[in-house]
Amino acid sequence: MTELIYHSDSYSREVKARVVSGSEGGVVLEKTIFYPGGGGQPADEGKMLWSGYVARLDKVKKAGADIVHWLHGPLPEVGQFVKCKINWQRRYLLMRTHTALHILCGVIWRDFGAQVTGGNMEPGSGRLDFELESMSGDFAEQIEERINAEVQAARPVQVNVLPRQEAFQIPDLIRTKINLLPEGIPEVRTVEIAGLDLQADGGTHVANTNEVGPIKVVEHKSKGRMNKRIRIQIAEPEADEMS
Ligand SMILES: [Zn+2]
């Protein structure tokens, strides 16, 4: 069972970990910082370094309780310690994007009582579809103003792990389709934007809404009677701000 560092510390961008097994042509580490994708958030990119080798991460995926890493080039042996380095610029952009989408989700639920029916996320942009009947003429401007107010409100974003029974008693969680979680899961990880949004979520988020920065509503359209699509974009950092 791989220890999921990204679940408790999304800001961890480098770690040294031991290879515990090989699986399907990839390697399993005792712990990992690489998000394997899921809940709409794409998998991380990065590399591994060990005794003179540098290998780019080709793919990272969940396989049962393990996270399997496929590499471009040679594989480290079982027992070997490797240094893992995440493509931090991309991951941090995804963290900000993911939190921005939860802000949008929280505002639409609070002000319109509409649930999310689908979505998509890329580094720096994303869209959500809502069970919403109509949009006013100034809908996009209104939404943009309200979600940016939540960024400026600097709301803390908290991650919690709850026993399954406890989680199933929280009305906000039931709303976000917690019922879809597999039966066997004993605990539920939640992401809460204090005072705005609470969801069962496995993704990586920033610690405060003010890290998201300005959000633009770049598209809004009707996809049907009870289906409205909103696409947002956040500001990407300049190349020389990379680390
Ligand atoms: Zn999410």
Give the Å distance between the CA of 61 and the centre of ligand 1: 18
**Segment 68-91, tens digit of pLDDT:** 999 998 899 999 999 999 999 999
Give the Å distance between the CA of 121 and the centre of ligand 1: 10
pTM of the model: 0.94
Handedness of CA 118, 88, 76, 58 (dihedral sign): positive
* Category of 120 on φ-ψ map: left (φ > 0), alpha (ψ -120 to 50) or beta: beta
CATH architecture group of domain 91-241: 2-Layer Sandwich (3.30)
Give the Å distance between the CA of 240 and the centre of ligand 1: 29
Give the Å distance between the CA of 222 and the centre of ligand 1: 23
The pLDDT assigned to 142 comes to: 96
DSSP at 13: -
Give the Å distance between the CA of 203 and the centre of ligand 1: 6
The pLDDT assigned to 61 comes to: 95
What are the two backbone dihedrals, phi and then psi, of residue 118, each rounded to the nearest 5 degrees? Answer: -175, 170
Spans of the chain below 50 pLDDT: 243
Torsion angle of alpha carbons 78, 84, 90, 93, nearest 10°?
110
Residue-range domain boundaries for the chain: 3-86, 91-241
Beta carbons of 56 and 210 less than 8 angstroms apart: no
* Category of 139 on φ-ψ map: left (φ > 0), alpha (ψ -120 to 50) or beta: alpha
Q: What angle do CA 124, 44, 21 make, to 5 degrees?
A: 175
Give the Å distance between the CA of 95 and the centre of ligand 1: 10
Using DSSP, state whether 32 is helix, strand or coil. Answer: strand
Q: Residues with Cβ < 8 Å from 61, sequence gap 6 or more? A: 36, 37, 43, 67, 68, 70
Using DSSP, state whether 80 is helix, strand or coil. Answer: coil
Could you tell me which CATH class the domain 3-86 is placed in? mainly beta
Q: Which residue has the tokens 């069972």?
A: 1
The pLDDT assigned to 239 comes to: 64
The pLDDT assigned to 5 comes to: 97
The pLDDT assigned to 172 comes to: 76
Among residues 6, 241, 199, 186, the alpha carbon closest in space to that of 99 is found at 199
Give the Å distance between the CA of 132 and the centre of ligand 1: 19
Cα 16 versus chain centre, distance:
23
Give the Å distance between the CA of 190 and the centre of ligand 1: 9
Give the Å distance between the CA of 128 and the centre of ligand 1: 11
Tokens of 121: 């996320």
The pLDDT assigned to 170 comes to: 85
Give the Å distance between the CA of 39 and the centre of ligand 1: 6
The pLDDT assigned to 174 comes to: 66
Ion ligand 1 residue ranges (Cβ < 5 Å):
201, 203
Quote the mean pLDDT of the chain.
Answer: 92
Give the Å distance between the CA of 204 and the centre of ligand 1: 8
Q: Residues with Cβ < 8 Å from 75, sequence gap 6 or more? A: 22, 25, 26, 27, 55
